[in-house]
């Protein structure tokens, strides 16, 4: 049967229909030149992120619903990393070829599923054609913690460094997908799920902000790079003990099978969307307790040091590796 592509008008009409539900704060939704949203605070967190076919995903490994989910999740995670709560989103889709109705509904359905989980309605956006395959750009607006947004620049010498959850599962899932092995995919479904459908730590970010963490970032480019970003912004160094970097049992098993080091995936893999943070030593127990109340485990990784000490990864036998240069870089 021939593939029935939608026109631009038909595409927009389906998007309007799928986004037509009520949303708190929404005054004017899709269908006008712009959306109108009533924010409850004077300060607004704004972020934008994009995912592109061939860079962030391939359509032989991702369902279109996974693409929509991941596009929204990556932007929502930026709001979570500042201790904020997402309020609304705009999504711009560029199509390498006009979509069919099932393709459009799958793509947008995944985006809506993610946005609904985060209470972040999609209130508008744009569609256009692309010469370079499918891409989605998502802008999210959020409201900060009452005490203010948590920045990367607040870490101070002597602070302790923590991270939520486990790291490297997304990179392990990508390894499985790239292997094209049905056996590996069946053996490690949790790792694949971690890569295809990451879950931003919104509630944890709010709890960390309320507990008074000094700096925070989401782990989108690997622990090494994202912690380095905190250290550079804070004009500080750090010492991280590699044996404290949390990795899952499934990742350890896959790494052993692949003859690879699971901690390398944790340091450099990225797209885990966990939260790495710093906190004063006397407040770290309170921070851990706030996360535990949400069912979120956190690990103590190390300490913020003075800028002259550099950013150091220390193995169990005392070997030191510089953190600078590790992690994902779009231009390398």
- What are the DSSP calls for 66-127, one per residue? HHHHHHHHHHHHHHHTTT-EEEEEEEEEEESSPPBHHHHHHHHHHHHHHHHHTT--EEEEEE
Question: 65 and 183 share a domain?
Answer: no
Per-residue pLDDT of the chain (332 residues; tens, 9 = 90+): 578 889 888 888 898 888 877 778 878 777 766 778 888 777 899 999 999 999 899 999 899 999 999 999 999 999 999 999 999 999 999 999 999 999 999 999 999 999 999 999 999 999 999 998 999 999 999 999 988 899 999 999 999 999 999 999 999 999 999 999 999 999 999 999 999 999 999 999 999 999 999 999 999 999 999 999 999 999 999 999 999 999 999 999 999 999 999 999 999 999 999 999 999 999 999 999 999 999 999 999 999 999 999 999 999 888 898 887 776 665 55
Domain-located, residue 211:
yes
Question: 164 and 302 share a domain?
Answer: yes
Domain-located, residue 1:
no
pTM comes to 0.91
Query: Measuring CA to CA, which residue among 216, 223, 200 is closest to residue 140?
Result: 200
Question: 255 and 136 share a domain?
Answer: no
Q: How far apart are CA 277 and CA 227, in angstroms?
A: 8
Which pair of tokens denotes residue 207? 């709890």
Q: How far apart are CA 81 and CA 151, in angstroms?
A: 8
Query: Measuring CA to CA, which residue among 166, 117, 114 is closest to residue 276?
Result: 166
Query: Measuring CA to CA, which residue among 178, 252, 265 is closest to residue 223?
Result: 265
- Residue 242: alpha-carbon gap to chain centroid: 22
Domain-located, residue 330:
no
Question: 22 and 110 share a domain?
Answer: yes
Question: 100 and 187 share a domain?
Answer: no
Question: 230 and 174 share a domain?
Answer: yes
Question: 315 and 194 share a domain?
Answer: yes
Domain-located, residue 159:
yes
Q: Which residues are within 8 A (CB) of 5 and not within 5 positions of it... i.e. 6 or more apart?
A: 97, 98, 99, 100
Question: 176 and 308 share a domain?
Answer: yes
CATH number at residue 178: 3.90.650.10
Domain-located, residue 332:
no
Question: 138 and 158 share a domain?
Answer: no
Question: 107 and 217 share a domain?
Answer: no
37 membership: H or E segment, kind and range:
strand 36-37
Q: Please, are residues 57 and 51 in contact by the beta-carbon 8 Å criterion?
A: yes
Domain-located, residue 170:
yes
Angle between helices 64-80 and 202-210 (to 10 degrees): 0
Range of the domain at 281: 152-322
Say how many domains are in the chain: 2
Question: 177 and 291 share a domain?
Answer: yes
Question: 226 and 255 share a domain?
Answer: yes
Domain-located, residue 245:
yes
């Amino acid at each position: 049967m021939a593939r029935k592509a939608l026109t631009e008008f038909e595409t927009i009409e389906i998007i309007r229909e799928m986004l037509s539900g009520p949303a708190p704060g929404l005054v004017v939704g899709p269908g006008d030149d712009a959306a109108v949203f009533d924010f409850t605070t004077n300060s607004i967190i704004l972020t934008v992120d994009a995912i592109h076919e061939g860079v962030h995903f391939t359509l032989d490994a991702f369902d279109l619903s996974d693409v929509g989910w991941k596009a929204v999740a990556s932007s929502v995670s930026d709001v979570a990393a500042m201790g904020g709560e997402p309020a609304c989103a705009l999504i711009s889709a560029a199509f390498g070829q006009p979509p069919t109705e099932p393709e459009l509904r799958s793509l947008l359905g995944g985006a809506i599923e993610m946005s609904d989980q985060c209470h972040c309605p999609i209130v508008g956006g744009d569609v256009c054609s692309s010469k370079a395959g499918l891409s989605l750009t998502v802008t999210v607006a959020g409201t900060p913690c009452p005490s203010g947004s948590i920045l990367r620049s607040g870490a101070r010498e002597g602070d302790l460094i923590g991270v939520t959850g486990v790291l490297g599962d997304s990179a392990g899932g990508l390894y499985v997908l790239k292997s094209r092995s049905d056996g590996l995919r069946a053996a490690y479904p949790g790792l694949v799920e971690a890569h295809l459908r990451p879950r931003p730590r919104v509630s944890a970010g709010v709890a960390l902000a309320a507990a008074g963490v000094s700096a925070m970032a989401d782990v989108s480019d690997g622990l090494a790079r994202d912690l380095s970003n905190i250290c550079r912004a804070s004009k500080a160094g750090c010492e991280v003990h590699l044996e404290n970097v949390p990795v899952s049992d499934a990742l350890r098993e896959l790494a052993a099978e692949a003859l690879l080091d699971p901690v390398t995936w944790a340091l450099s893999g990225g797209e885990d969307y966990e939260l790495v943070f710093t906190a004063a030593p006397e407040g770290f127990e309170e921070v851990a307790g706030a996360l535990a109340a949400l069912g979120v485990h956190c690990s103590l990784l190390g300490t913020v040091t003075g800028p002259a000490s550099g950013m150091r990864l220390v193995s169990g036998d005392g070997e030191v590796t510089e953190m600078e240069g590790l992690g994902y870089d779009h231009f390398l």
